[in-house]
Structure 1
Amino acid sequence: MKPFAPSEMKTILHSKRANVYYLEHCRVLVKGGRVEYLTQQGKRSLYWNIPIANTTSILLGSGTSITQAAVRELSKAGVMIGFSGGGGTPLFSSTEGDRDIAWLSPQSEYRPTEYLQAWVSFWFDTEKRLQAGKLLQSLRLVNIKTQWLDETYLKKFGFDPRQEQLLTYLQNAEADIANAQDSNGLLIAEARLTKNLFKIAAQTTDYGSFTRSKRGSGTDPANRFLDHGNYLAYGLGATAAWVLGLPHGLAVMHGKTRRGGLVFDAADLVKDAVILPLAFISAMQGDDERDFREHCIDSLTRNKCLDLMIDGLKELALTIGGVGA
């Protein structure tokens, strides 16, 4: 049989791709021209196909390895690769130790340049960068309101927060964003709203007392699920930045201490809106990591969250940097 070449694949826009993979205890390789992952069941070797043309990102967890040929094919298909610990957290990288968000992005000489040119036209201007951060946070508020009050997927699990309380918190956050004098002010506003959202989610699901732990240090289910789900959002954020040709270091909010700050910025658009409520829902249902991950991926796909990230970053470039003006 003639080997299948990536060039023969039908191109699917990243914003329309459906798959985010977390793999563990397997080997990723190329077999018969296709990228597959190999698992062991007793003395049997089982091969499972990865539809790379319809995949945005892959997280490789504990006990995984990947061949050079597989990396080459994934790169041709424009798939992000990340190395993580068990359960998807913390995230590691072959080029950066520690726990920064650093992805192995596909290399191409033909990434778009118009958004990068618009981005750098405002990025070195502190005031314009603040405007971009405010716009990003405003888009975040819109998405939180839409997801928490209108999304039927959450209501299917009985997640129905008090509308008056949520709207009050969102209005207060909107005022905090408008009054922020710098990026630190925006980060404080972001943290204040997230803390209030934790409170609402805990009340809505009858979770009880909740305190957000530092990443990777939480022992209760909600904290573990938040860490896990957020990394799925970071994978989409990294993909959105790559699609538009934007370096991860050109952040508008989180870039002071982390070179991957733009990934955090993009992920803000969906973390609290989608991941946060699902973490509490799964914690109260007694879900395991796989169940929770499936809920997250289903919701991220159903709500076209990668589309939302790409459109949000485009809007920043269009509004602040003047693309298309």
Structure 2
Amino acid sequence: MDQLTDLKAILHSHRANLYYLEYCRVMQKDGRVLYLTEASKQNLYYNIPIANTTVLLLGTGTSITQAAMRMLAQAGVLVGFCGGGGTPLLMATEVEWLTPQSEYRPTQYLQGWLSFWFDDAKRFEAGKHIQQARINYLGRVWGKDRDLQSEGILLESSQLKTALTRYSDRLDTAEKSADLLLAEAQLTKSLYKFIVQSVSFGDFKREREGTDKANAFLNHGNYLAYGLAATTLWVLGIPHGFAVMHGKTRRGALVFDIADLIKDAIILPWAFICAKEGATEQEFRQQCLQAFTDHKSLEFMFEQVKQLALRGDPEEEIVQ
């Protein structure tokens, strides 16, 4: 088995690691990708297990060598430059992804996606499917996560059941994308209220430019979800502009659609729990990444996107 095959042995949907690095140099050394940090008396090298890594985010004060990029490309790792803390600061919307150009991309998923995307009715149904999968995943995660349950987030709460039932009913009666967006906004408001009360957080107002910990953690966590969504679409070869709900005129809108699958289930509760406990940004990020792994978030995203892309396709799907 050649080196390229070895590096790609782990499926993208099963890889465990997502790295954010700052103030270091990423390089290739002895057939491995390492990052170098400068300590007071010595240089410290740390290994990056690229065969088990989906995303490498390079933040403030980082650089990377051509040799390291070559190995990352061979392993199919998505590389991006971002602002401090893993959150893109320039215009607060974009990460510039660097994708391996030698990577083989199956066209099956793109062709399947486009087979329904130009049909308004079918595209609308795909949006409904994503939103239904979103609350199904939330029920699955909150129903078995003991850490969340110990914080008072209980799936059997009458308040939560009412909010989810109302949302399902609105999905059934929705007739256009604007209806979905309105229903989503109402659900989000209800979930914020439920979480705040469940964890005894106190007063809260959602402000994307807010500097308090809860708002900062929500922003940061959402970008982590966007990273997983972008990774899923990149591996399957579906351009980010083919959105089904968040608007056809926004270049990365499909990333927001797919990130919806996991944001409420994982980012929302942990943002408030970590803020209440006074966690650091690093601690919050580690908690989110662990939750992604525990609840197989990336694998779930792959499953849902592939289901939508391959609807009505009798051929055997290509495993990613």
TM-score (norm 1): 0.90
- Between stretches 192-201 and 102-111, larger displacement belongs to 102-111
What is aligned with 2:135? 141
1:91 deviates by 5.6
Deviations along 1:206-239, whole A, 9 cap, x unmatched?
111211112xx22111111111111111111111
**Cα pair distance change 1:39/1:75, threshold 3 Å:** same
What is aligned with 2:252? 260
1:159 deviates by 3.8
The one of 214, 228, 243 aligned to 1:236: 228
What is aligned with 1:196? 190
Matches of 1:153 and 1:323, distance apart in 2: 40
Matches of 2:235 and 2:229, distance apart in 1: 10
Contact kept in structure 2, 1:76 and 1:106, CA below 8 Å: yes
**Cα pair distance change 1:137/1:50, threshold 3 Å:** same
The one of 74, 79, 82 aligned to 1:81: 79
Matches of 1:103 and 1:258, distance apart in 2: 17
- Between stretches 53-62 and 156-165, larger displacement belongs to 156-165
Q: Percent identity?
A: 55
What is aligned with 1:270? 262
The one of 169, 177, 180 aligned to 2:163: 169
Matches of 2:178 and 2:94, distance apart in 1: 19
Q: Give secondary structure in 2 for the equivalent of 1:65.
A: strand
Asked if 1:185 is matched to 2:179, the reply is yes
Q: Give secondary structure in 1 for the equivalent of 2:56.
A: strand
Contact kept in structure 2, 1:103 and 1:238, CA below 8 Å: no
Question: Structure 1: which 5+ runs fail to align?
Answer: none
What is aligned with 1:294? 286
- Look up the equivalent residue of 1:308 and give its one-letter code: F
Asked if 1:116 is matched to 2:106, the reply is no
Asked if 1:21 is matched to 2:19, the reply is yes
Matches of 1:161 and 1:240, distance apart in 2: 28
Contact kept in structure 1, 2:13 and 2:302, CA below 8 Å: yes
- Look up the equivalent residue of 2:314 and give its one-letter code: G
The one of 251, 270, 275 aligned to 1:283: 275
What is aligned with 2:217? 225
Task: Find runs of 4+ consecutive structure 1 residues off by over 3 angstroms.
Answer: 4-10, 156-162
Matches of 2:124 and 2:116, distance apart in 1: 10
**Cα pair distance change 1:172/1:128, threshold 3 Å:** same
What is aligned with 2:313? 323
Deviations along 1:187-217, whole A, 9 cap, x unmatched?
2221211111111111111111211112xx2
Q: Give secondary structure in 1 for the equivalent of 2:272.
A: helix
Equivalent pairs, count: 314
Contact kept in structure 1, 2:137 and 2:261, CA below 8 Å: yes
The one of 52, 55, 69 aligned to 2:53: 55
Matches of 1:125 and 1:206, distance apart in 2: 46
- Look up the equivalent residue of 1:218 and give its one-letter code: G
- Between stretches 108-117 and 31-40, larger displacement belongs to 108-117
Q: Give secondary structure in 2 for the equivalent of 1:280.
A: helix
- Look up the equivalent residue of 1:292 and give its one-letter code: F
1:127 deviates by 0.8
Matches of 1:207 and 1:82, distance apart in 2: 34
Q: Give secondary structure in 2 for the equivalent of 1:20.
A: strand
1:308 deviates by 0.3
